[in-house]
Amino acid sequence: MIDFQTFAHLASIDLGEALPKPTSISGAQQEAGQTLWTSDDGLVEVGVWECTPGRFTASRETNSEICHIVSGRVALHNGDGSTKDVGPGEVLVLPIGWKGEWTIHEKTRKLYILHFQK
């Protein structure tokens, strides 16, 4: 039998120790994350991530990402220079091939779903 799983209280899940964000370009950012579920084939991962204010580069060359912002405020900057602000309760999709930067305006927590290419 295949069973379902639930995860409540995303805002209070313990993410462990925050560590320096390797792709941070300003703000000496700290990040922490917790994987909640991974598919048997390893192609889908669901987790919670949190980061302190600052700016970092991001690239989705090998996977897409769906994010639901639980708390905080961010701005996403596309490679073409356009920017979109995203806050609590909003969902964003970063398709395979997306490259850009995130500006974290205040400590932000998100639920993420990564889908890796086969």
pLDDT over threshold 90, residue 1:
no
Domains identified in the chain and CATH numbers? 43-118 (2.60.120.10)
Alpha carbon distance 44, 10 (integer Å):
19
The residues facing 103 across adjacent strands are: 55, 75
Residues 38-85: tens digit of each pLDDT: 999 999 999 999 999 999 999 999 999 999 999 999 999 998 999 999
Q: What is the pTM of this model?
A: 0.93
Tell whether the torsion through CA atoms of 33, 36, 42 and 44 is positive or negative.
Answer: negative
Note the pLDDT of residue 62. Answer: 93
Note the pLDDT of residue 24. Answer: 97
